[in-house]
């Protein structure tokens, strides 16, 4: 609560994944290159879902704090 969330592990992991996907986008096999686009789209979808769930959670927390204050 009082400390800033440490995302260094997640940042390193994401950079590593992106580097690997960049390398795979240069692969000679067409199926591998096509999979890179799919993987990037799926990662974006998952990040969007995480953001949506965090916003919903914040809204619920705000509502519950209001209700407990009454």
Binning pLDDT at 50, 70 and 90, where does residue 20 land? very high
* Percent over 90 (pLDDT), the chain: 67
Number of Cβ atoms within 10 Å of the Cβ of 30 = 8
Q: How far apart are CA 44 and CA 32, in angstroms?
A: 19
Binning pLDDT at 50, 70 and 90, where does residue 43 land? very high
Radius of gyration over alpha carbons of the chain, in Å? 19
Contact 30, 37 (CB under 8 A): no
């Amino acid at each position: 609560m009082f400390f800033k969330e440490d995302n260094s592990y997640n940042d390193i992991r994401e950079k590593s994944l992106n580097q690997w996907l960049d390398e795979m986008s240069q692969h000679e096999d067409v199926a591998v290159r096509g999979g890179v686009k799919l993987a990037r789209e799926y990662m974006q979808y998952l990040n969007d879902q995480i953001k949506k769930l965090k916003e919903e959670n914040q809204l619920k927390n705000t509502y519950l704090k209001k209700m407990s204050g009454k």
